[in-house]
Every structure is written in structure tokens, then in C-alpha cells.
Amino acid sequence: MPKKLNKDASTEEKIKQAAKRLFTQKGFAETKTREIAEESGINLALLNYYFRSKQGLYNIIMKENMASFKQGLAELFGDTQLDVYQKIEKLAHYYIDEFITNPDLPMFIVNTIYMAGNDSTILEEDETSASRKIFVNQIKELVAQRKIKPIHPAHILSNMMGLIIFPFVIGPLLKKRANINDKAFVEMMKERKKLIPVWIKSMLEN
Amino acid sequence: MPKKLNKDASTEEKIKQAAKRLFTQKGFAETKTREIAEESGINLALLNYYFRSKQGLYNIIMKENMASFKQGLAELFGDTQLDVYQKIEKLAHYYIDEFITNPDLPMFIVNTIYMAGNDSTILEEDETSASRKIFVNQIKELVAQRKIKPIHPAHILSNMMGLIIFPFVIGPLLKKRANINDKAFVEMMKERKKLIPVWIKSMLEN
DNA sequence: AATTAAGTTAAACAAATGATTAAAAAAAGT
DNA sequence: ACTTTTTTTAATCATTTGTTTAACTTAATT
């Protein structure tokens, strides 16, 4: 009986890499199987051979992208050693670096969240839920201690995520309209790693 | 020679309404012509009769959505009577109301901007460009007067847009994870009309 | 070397999809 | 009433697209 071979190597991984790029960039419907095949230099049938279907491949990519997005989130939010501001700072640093490396990821995430409005199953409870509650409780405590203004934690979540993710999503607009080139854009995003925590602090404090 | 008839009425408008809903909700590739036909209760061929092609119809919808987005933007930004904070306040009020009424518009806008990264032609200079410069100059002046911290105007643009638009885009996440129902969500967005200007002010001030 | 399994390929299939056609129905003009 | 134009319909076309098949090649196992 032959055993599985080529576990590390090429074909399967090549397909995934091309698919990741295309799905992340253009979404599910706009990405065609033949495009993935061509992009990865493999025969069309191999997509189905390795991944059963386009949807199956997409699910894997989505899972990986989401894992990449969630990675560290649970631990960070759940860490009882760090205060709210330290968490925000770490969050901004981690994700902005992640998004600079993988610039299509923000739009993919946004699309995935948005689609969850219709195709629900994606936003199930997961390992981040419990730790997010710890973070939310830290905020509530600050409010109770009158250290920050009374505010619904969802506002803070929205603001943090918006300030971190949104500029990447409207990158093309900034680049065209504000005459920012790619390099300057990256510099600006790096600046935001420091600015966002400060901004949020100013927003919250009494 | 017969003249054009039925200018106001049904068929053409019905197609546009259904198409607007679908395109705005699901984007171009995922929206099928037969779906538009069914949704609007018309014969499939009428789509091509009135709009030549799916792409033609999409372009019209996009133009309208963008017009709806840009409407007032130019006048508001260009208004020399209003100071920066007054503009931000008006902006938040106007767009949040717009997005509450038309909840799929934010995602459509974000998608359109993002796609412009590849398919450039959409983000051409338009009537908003000149007036945006007026706004940017007002910011620069505040910086020069030491009234606000030195900051690249693109940061402020990003932050304003992010704070206004982003919560709508991640609505599904907030609803599921933060146990916010549709009504509470709308209330929260209304709250933001007042909060966003205050937040931005705190962020900017020395 | 012979056998078995895994990987790859070109071709084809079936369904989906955007678009067109030709004929009919409805509306407008004369 | 008759003609012309506009609108609508059902059927069909031509591609595109996801998937499958069957043959072929390569690699592993005995």
C-alpha cells in the first residue's frame, strides 16, 4: 500500500497560494477556477482533485485568512496582565503590520463580515468570544471608576477596528486623491500604530 | 413620429430599483441578470432592451450610488462659512442618516473605492476635489495656528470616514457578537452623529 | 520487474449566464 | 381604422464556468 507523498511540496500548495491571492483580492464569485489554474500553472482538474470544489477551496482559504486575522486576538484580549490601553496599542501594532504585509486581507475580512449578514454560519461563537468579554469588562470597569466617559463598548470596538482597518480599504482613494504613493502610504500606516492608541485614549478620557 | 413615452413609469424604473438593491447588496459578479429580472418581475430581455447590457445597468447604478454618496459633499467641504468642526458635525449627521436609510450603500462604496485600485477610471478628479482642498487647507491652517496637533490631513480624512462608514460595514458582527438588535443598532448609529464630532475634536486638540 | 496507487492531462459535459432574435402585444400617431 | 412605433414575450444562441471522465504518466510498494 503506497503512502501519501509530496506532502510538503508543490501542486496543492501552488493552488492554495494562487487561490488565496485571487479570492482575497476579488472575492468568491469573481474568481474563476480557470483563473486559479492558470495563475498557479496547474491543470484545471487538479483543483477538484485536491479540493473537491471551488467552494471547498474557498472555505479553506477563508479559514486561513480568518485564522490569520484572529491569531493572537484571543490571547491578547484575554490577557489579564494588560490594561485596556496596552491592549489597544498591541492590537494596532500587530494588525497594522499584518495588513502592510498582506494588503488585501482587510478587504477580505470586511467582505466576510458583511456577507455574514446574509449567509450566517461564519460568525459563530469562537475562542475569541470569551476573551473579548474580558476586554469589554475592563472597559466597563473603567467607566464605573469614572476614568473614562460612559460609552457602549461596541463603540470602542467599532472605532478601534475602523481606525485600524479602514485606511487599508480606502487605500486607493488616499493614493489617488491625496497624492500619496505606495511608500508614503506604508509610512502613514506605520505612523498610525502610534497614533491610534493616543487617539482612542483622547476619545475615551474624561 | 411617436414621441418617447412612459418616461416616468414602470418597467425601466422597476429594473433599476431591483438592480440597485441587488448590486448594492451583492456586487456585480454575484448578481445575475435573471435574478434582476425575477426580482423586478420583468422579462429578461427587457434588461438588455433598456440598458444594453448588465455592465451598462451596473454603471448607472454605480453612478447613482456615488452621486448619492457625493451629494452635498462638495458644497459642504467647499463652504467657507463653516469651520472644520462644523463640517465634521454636518458630515456625520448627513451620512449617518443616509446610511441608516440605505444600509447597503456603505459596503457598495467601500467596494467601489477598493476596486478602483485595479480598475482605475472611477476615482477620477471630480467636483469634490476642489472643495476637499478647501477643507484640507482649513486643517492646515489650524495646525499652523497651533490649535491642533500637527497631522497629515489624510489621517483625519481616514478617521472621519472610518468612524462614519465602518460600523455599518461590520454591522453583522456587532449584531451577533455584541447582542445588538436592529433597532439598537440604529440607535447606536444615531448616537454616533453626536459622538463622532466630539471624538475627532478630542483627537485633534492640543 | 510487476503491481498498485497517486498525480496529471486533455477532452467533454452540464448547467448557468449574458445576450439576441423574431414574433406578438400594446400604445401612439395619423 | 390604419399605420407606425414602442414595449413585451418566449425561445434560442453562444460563452463561460464548475465539475467529471477516462486515459496517461509518474512514483511508490512488493
Decide if B39 is inside a domain: yes
Query: Residue B6 pLDDT > 90, yes or no?
Result: no
3-state helix, strand, coil in chain A (%, to 5): 75, 0, 25
pLDDT bucket at B206, cuts 50 / 70 / 90: confident
Distances (CA, A) of B101 to A158, B105, B106, B190: 20, 9, 11, 12
Q: Are residues A177 and B29, on separate chains, in Cβ contact within 8 Å? A: no
Q: What is the pLDDT of residue A24?
A: 95
Q: CB-based contact (8 Å) between A67 and chain B?
A: no
pLDDT on residue A99? 97
Of A9, A187, A198, residue with least CA distance to A100: A187
In B, which residues are within 8 Å of A202 by CB distance?
A: 202-203, 205
Q: Does A187 touch chain B (CB under 8 A)?
A: no
Q: Are A78 and A41 contained in the same domain?
A: no
Separation between the CA of A124 and the C1’ of C8 (whole angstroms): 39
Which residue has the closest alpha carbon to C30 C1'? B1
Work out the angle between the directed axes of helices A105-115 and A10-26 (0-180°, nearest 10): 70
> What's the pLDDT band for B9 if we cut at 50, 70, 90?
low
Residues of chain B positioned with their CB less than 8 A from the CB of A126: none
Q: Each residue of A95-141: pLDDT tens digit?
A: 999 999 999 999 999 999 999 887 767 777 777 888 999 999 999 99
For residues B33 and B77, membership in a common domain is answered with no
Domain co-membership, A40 together with A79: no
From the CA of A14 to the C1' of C8: give the distance in Å.
15
- Tell whether A2 is covered by a domain: no
- B135 and B171 both lie in a single domain: yes
Model pLDDT, residue A83: 95
The C-alpha atoms of residue A62 and residue B130 are separated, in whole angstroms, by: 41
Per-residue pLDDT reduced to its tens digit, A18-28: 999 999 999 99
Mean pLDDT of A70-89: 91
Looking at the domain assignment, is residue A3 inside a domain? no
Q: Is the pLDDT of residue A3 over 50?
A: no
Tell me the percentage of chain B whose pLDDT exceeds 70. Answer: 95
Q: Answer yes or no: do A17 and A99 share one domain.
A: no
Shortest-distance nucleotide from B30 CA to C1':
C17
Structural domain boundaries enclosing B100: 71-204
CB pairs under 8 A between A and B: 131
Distance between CA A40 and CA A19 in Å, rounded?
8
* Residue-averaged pLDDT of chain B: 91
> Is residue A78 located within the same domain as residue A53?
no
pLDDT at B4 over 80: no
**Mean pLDDT in residue range A8-31:** 92
Tell me: pLDDT of B7 over 80: no
Looking at residue B69, what is its pLDDT? 85
User: Given A166, A171, A191, which is nearest B161 (Cβ)?
Assistant: A166
| A205's grid cell | 478620557
Is the pLDDT at A5 greater than 50? The verdict is no
Q: How many domains does chain B have?
A: 2
Residue A172 maps to a domain: yes
Residue A157 lies in a domain: yes
Residues 16-35 of A with CB under 8 A from B: 25, 27-30
Whether residues B77 and B171 fall in one domain:
yes
More confident residue, B162 or B122: B162
Q: Give Cα B44 distance to the centre of its chain.
A: 29
CATH number at residue A42: 1.10.10.60
pLDDT beyond 60 at A1: no
Residues of chain A contacting residue B199, judged by C-beta atoms under 8 Å apart: 159, 203
Chain A residues with CB inside 8 Å of B24's CB? none
Mutate to test the interface with B, among A166, A193, A198 (most CBs of B within 10 A): A166
Tens digits of per-residue pLDDT, A149-181? 999 999 999 999 999 999 999 999 999 888 899
The single-letter DSSP state of residue A3 is P
Give the integer Cα–Cα distance in Å for A7 and A24: 24
Instruction: Tell me, yes or no, whether B14 and B89 share the same domain.
Output: no
Domain boundary among A63, A90, A106: A63
B190 in the same domain as B133: yes
Could you give the CA distance from residue A79 to residue A98 in angstroms, rounded to a whole number?
20
- What's the pLDDT at A45? 98
Q: What is the pLDDT of residue B14?
A: 97
CA distance B116 to chain A (A): 6
B45 and B117 share a domain?
A: no
One domain, residues B57 and B129: no
Residues A148 and A102 in one domain: yes
List of residues 6+ apart from B143 with CB closer than 8 A: B149, B150, B151
Asked if residue A122 lies in contact with residue A108, where contact means CB atoms within 8 angstroms, the answer is no
